[in-house]
Amino acid sequence: MAANKPKIAFVCVHNSCRSQIAEALGKHFASDIFDSYSAGTEISSGINQDAVRLILELYSIDMTTQRSKLLSDIPSVDIVITMGCNVKCPFLPCKFREDWGLDDPSGKSDEEFLKTIKQIEENIKQLVNRIQNKNINL
């Protein structure tokens, strides 16, 4: 892939769980295809500790290096992926946008977290495929 990789923002309101998982998995599975960022419209007190624990267990990824960020803290992006916050989803200028419609697993069982994590992994792999096959117009 060219040095000019697309920049992707994974966005939700609090930037504490789903968008943070997507940033971590985007970097893990697709760092050669796109640059991953996450952000929200409100800063949370920290990243969801269940997400941190499960991502470490499943992928050996240390999410403690990530922090909750505002939209203004990340660079301009080409693609915005909202996590499923519906009408509260923040707006960010981009060339392509889609919503993954994921329920927030915060406060729920590990089983619910695992479903969300595996869906994010699958979505990222599909996104890589669409970018590589130029099915997303950038």
Question: What domain count does the chain have?
Answer: 1
Q: What residue numbers bound the domain in which 47 lies?
A: 7-128
DSSP code for 70: B
pLDDT tens per residue, range 55-85: 999 999 999 999 999 999 999 999 999 998 7
Q: Per-residue pLDDT for 105 more than 90?
A: yes
Q: What is the CATH number of the domain that holds 65?
A: 3.40.50.2300
Q: Is residue 87 part of a domain?
A: yes
CA distance 37 to 66: 10
Classified as helix, coil or strand, 79 is: strand
pLDDT value at 54 more than 90 = yes
What pLDDT score does 76 carry? 96
Residue 29 lies in a domain: yes
Query: Is 136 inside a domain boundary?
Result: no
Residue 95 lies in a domain: yes
User: CB–CB of 15/68 below 8 Å?
Assistant: yes
Within-domain flag for 134:
no
Alpha helix stretches (DSSP H) within the chain: 18-30, 49-59, 110-132
Q: β-strands 96-99, 79-82: how paired? A: parallel
Model's pTM, two decimal places?
A: 0.94
Domain presence at residue 43:
yes
∠ Cα 20 62 37 (to 5°) = 30
Average pLDDT over residues 123-127: 98
pLDDT at 1: 44
On whether residue 138 sits in a domain, the answer given is no
Q: Quick one: pLDDT band at residue 87, thresholds 50, 70, 90?
A: low
